[in-house]
Structure 1
């Protein structure tokens, strides 16, 4: 490819007259960085590095930056590394009940905006790694609408891939179970030493790898980018191809909103359904759509497209296939090729080619690790979006692949205001087989940032109740959980005075995964006459970023973005605004 100096350039917003105050100031600031005066006219690119020493997920990103800078300079652009927050689900989930995890996603978007818009840089190339970084980078791309490329930076080499006992997901599951059963953990401490053998994100198909695949399915990453082993030759090849793609985007003036459209969002939904990705991809893709000004209901897309999208692979935690095997079988590129009859193939990608054109270069399905659409693992969706009188705006369940479990459950509600209360309800006998456990008040506002409920699910499993008690919550649970009937992210959340907030002990709740329904069998007038739900005071509430987040966060139906974007989803969709006394200062 020709370097940038040899091809016709579009106007660049980063360029100022050399004699202007801004032009002179930039010359003064950048000369010590080794940038010559005759280079100041070149496109200026932000390398977004969401790195941190806190977790293995990010440990290799700093090594990618100098290589990427060299590639970009050789192509005729000026790269500038910028930094953002970098949350890790395993590390920064301790404080405030895990509320800093999801909320950090939007903090990263703002970090990128401050640097890119403040300096009026021309483009973005983002090193995406752990769970919240990829959606944050995609959201920033949609918001700022400058040429942007996402680089999925790969998954870690796990002990399980070496034939050992565990990867980090298995350690997490077993340690969480042991915390409930009070069993010794000495053997787990030894297993933990062998669980992670290299930098990179979690090896299974949890949120990180799911969002890497979603980025490729959106057309925002180079073909064949995901999943990929961290620090492998394929990853380095992706880095080089991504640099070339970004320069081409700048020259052609291709922007994220040309790529992130209703069609590409639906393609990404199909991809997530086909691989049985993380349930968290729903709210992340909705947030990306909102930031890119795309009026599409991602929740409804998952709900409707799930009925016609076959499941083509069964990667851990859905099944036994390792991500390494999935990558070697063709990964996302092969999934997209096999799905092409169901996709909107004319969707544009960062390569300047359409999704259909890119798919012709992908390997066909091997029929084993990746199935064809005619011989899938399952025609039942692994991600099930439910709506009904208890969840007018949606809720989600994760199912194993293939799914042989029960799909209907009806029982009396047992209502709790925290995970701890619910776990105690198992021990004291309040929760019995046939019940529907309800934990509310821990949604986007109530949590804030969607409290985790995995510990309660593990407690159910440890007591042999996972298949005997259904579970409904406005919080979230780990993507590793796909046992029993577990319904999360109920919207409107309890604190928004939705139906969940007015459920009482003994109310009958009916769940039908096949029909995609979640209903409260109580007359509507009786529900309306009940008192508004008031969230109990939290012992660790008050002060700082999370209070700001609570004031600004929008409902799940809007992807929990901060502040209303007038995205077109609100009219006739939200059942109730948030009460001003509990974070409703900005209503949808």
Structure 2
């Protein structure tokens, strides 16, 4: 076993102080020299997502002690998209991801702990845990902690996503809401994340595809035997990683990130995984343009699953058909199978043990649900840095939309325009100034899209925004996360009413049909002076956040010094007594494996 950075000289001031603190907690003296593993817990009473994590900690501590390790629980902020999106129009949601990363750094790096096991639950915890793993580069295993038992799974009428959609529509149409309370009471029947292929389950799959979770870890029912088996295997894996000194930057490489991109394309995962994977790459020092990977690989990667809200299948059926492990098995001809995982096996070795596709819920690459990308990255004169659209499985179209712009500064203004008649069939609604720095924190536009749906305009009005929207959105043509954003003087900030916007999903383009000379002569966008940022965290975020091309990571240095074409240079954390410097893994952007012949 390598020297442990957590073991200070027993006669040094720090060594004596640690002994005093930890002996007072009842830790035996002989355990003080063992590898110290942080159990990163996001337990919270704010949402059902986290309700079972404290129970997992109890079991995990026992497992880790059995492997000769000293577990030390730490806690972080615990955001929930359904609960902590209430304040300031949801602008705390994305910044909370990076707050979790900083929480982990302060505890793990501050205490010089030796390794981490991260209990990942709701949307922002998994990307944050993977980002922290890349930044700190200490042995790490991510444990996907499962999805909730839903009303739909029990033969009832709704899950939480269905309730959210119905409530949003009722708010616009004024429809009776008498039944909504009963639906809400039946929607969530246990702890865990939302029971669909939205951001949480998508990021759990990303962790496995990257090799940072044990094989077969996702998706998994919360508190099921499979979840508890994964907890036990994660404890064994972290002991092995410490013994062999294998670290996240040995696992998170250009090849493993390409594998994760392929996996998301194959299951129609959340569009949010693009910026999260880019942020993971940046924090891990991997030079790769994730946006371009989604753009290019999307045209070469077949759709192997159609889980709600993308298709008809419940997440339970997907898990029972083999889940992420089976998808990786079927995708193996398109993957870099030699990438290593936290178990010590390669991706190919792990995939070899997975069950084959059943041909119904999960299909083979020879007989996919479709070949059109469920996640489309677009570029063009309106989004030279990229933008993203989410599509249903299969995709009935339309794939092209051309119309005059109607420009709005907030989603509320755009919603009001539906009723007032300012926004009409054939228009392209432009909601701008709500990107990562313009909001700041990235505004949510889902309510506007649901309003269009409620008014029967989902396929009659397109949306282009530098904000974000829910993974539930996959109807009509909605283009989000336009980069550069308006506040960074992107072309979106110079759009005027009646400018013509052309969206072509088949070609992956979104263009502003305005002469360049006319556009450059216009005044750039300026954020309104009366933005409600609260004078605290969001103001700090605005000063530090980097563009989406960098994954919206936080850094006080200029963007050019943090990442190039979506890539970054990262400095290893400082070392101290009992540890040695460990350089970042030098991983150049590698071409993705060639697609299977029938999908070339």
Matches within 5 A, 1:420-459: 420-459=412-451
**Could you tell me whether the CA contact under 8 Å between 1:217 and 1:264 is conserved in 2?**
yes
Q: Is the 8 A contact 2:382 2:492 kept in 1?
A: yes
Q: Which residue is equivalent to 2:482?
A: 490
Structure 1 position 527, deviation (Å): 0.8
Could you report, residue by residue, the CA deviation over 1:527-555 in whole angstroms, capped at 9, with x for unpaired residues?
A: 11110111223452341111101111110
Say if 1:11 and 1:569 are closer, same or farther in 2 by CA, change over 3 A: closer
1:318 equivalent in structure 2? 310
Query: Is residue 379 of structure 1 aligned with residue 357 of structure 2?
Result: no
Using the alignment, how far apart are the partners of 1:30 and 1:571 within structure 2? Answer: 44
CA apart distance, 1:573:
7.7
CA contact (8 A) 1:444 1:560 kept: yes
Distance 1:79 1:27, change over 3 A: same
- Deviation of 1:26 after TM superposition, in Å, equals 1.1
C-alpha distance after superposition, 1:95-148 (max 9, x if no partner): 011011111000000000000001000000000000000000000000000000
The answer to whether residue 64 in structure 2 is matched with residue 72 in structure 1 is yes
CA distance in structure 1 between the aligned counterparts of 2:350 and 2:411, rounded to whole angstroms = 46
Confirm or deny: 8 A CA contact 2:330 2:357 kept in the other structure: yes
Contact 2:546 2:559 in 1 (8 A): no
Residues 347 and 519 of structure 1: CA distance in aligned 2, closer, same or farther (over 3 Å) = same
RMSD: 1.2
Post-superposition shift, 1:221?
0.1
Q: Which residue of 2 aligns with 1:155?
A: 147
Map residues 152-191 of structure 1 onto 2, 5 A cutoff: 152-191=144-183
Provide structure 1 residue ranges, at least 5 long, that are not aligned to the other structure: 1-8, 575-588
- The answer on whether the counterparts of 2:142 and 2:212 sit within 8 Å (CA) in structure 1 is yes
Pairs aligned (count): 566
Contact 2:446 2:470 in 1 (8 A): yes
Match of 2:20 among 7, 23, 28: 28
1:302 lines up with 2:330 in the alignment: no
Q: TM-score, normalised by structure 2?
A: 0.93
Aligned to 1:351: 343
1:294–1:567 Cα contact (<8 Å) kept: no
Alpha-carbon contact 2:282-2:563 (below 8 Å) kept:
no
Which of 387, 404, 412 is residue 412 of structure 1 equivalent to? 404
Aligned equivalent of 1:40: 32
Superposed displacement of residue 568, structure 1: 7.0
TM-score w.r.t. structure 1 length? Answer: 0.95
Q: Is the 8 A contact 2:290 2:566 kept in 1?
A: no
Is 1:506 matched up with 2:509? no
Q: 1:449 to 1:539 in 2, by over 3 A?
A: closer
Aligned to 1:197: 189
Seen in structure 2, the aligned counterparts of structure 1 residues 342 and 422 have a Cα distance that, compared at 3 Å, is same
Structure 2 portions without partners, runs of 5+: 568-600
Matches of 1:568 and 1:445, distance apart in 2: 18
- Aligned partners of 1:384 and 1:397 also within 8 Å: yes
Q: Is the 8 A contact 2:237 2:342 kept in 1?
A: yes
State the partner residue of 1:267. Answer: 259
Q: Is the 8 A contact 2:39 2:116 kept in 1?
A: yes
Aligned residue number for residue 225 of structure 2: 233
Please tell me whether the aligned partners of residues 295 and 567 of structure 1 are also in contact (alpha carbons under 8 angstroms). no
Matched, 1:15 2:1: no
Match of 1:83 among 75, 78, 95: 75
Q: Return the alpha-carbon distance in structure 2 between the equivalents of residues 572 and 216 of structure 1.
A: 26
Q: Note the alpha carbon deviations across 1:267-294, whole angstroms, 9 max, x for none.
A: 0000000000000000000000000010
In the alignment, the residues of structure 2 paired with residue 518 and residue 356 of structure 1 have an alpha-carbon distance, to the nearest angstrom, of 38
Distance 1:549 1:110 in 2: 12
Bigger mean CA offset, 422-431 vs 491-500: 422-431
